Amino acid sequence: MKTPATTVADVGDPEPFFVERIGQILLRHRLLLIQISAEMPP
């Protein structure tokens, strides 16, 4: 059972979801860039 505050936050404020997705995407790209730069000769 959800509290009213949780329901309002989940329905009315999608920003945390987008922030979490963007963070995951940036982290994945950063790991790929580190891997690529580590494999490239200087």
Does 3 map to a domain?
no
Does 1 map to a domain?
no
Split into its structural domains, the chain has a count of: 1
Does 17 map to a domain?
yes
- The pLDDT assigned to 3 comes to 57
pLDDT at 8 over 60: no
Does 14 map to a domain?
yes
Domain extent, residue 33, equals 8-39
Distances (CA, A) of 5 to 17, 18, 23, 24, 38: 17, 19, 25, 26, 47
Does 30 map to a domain?
yes
Does 32 map to a domain?
yes
Does 15 map to a domain?
yes
pLDDT at 35 over 60: yes
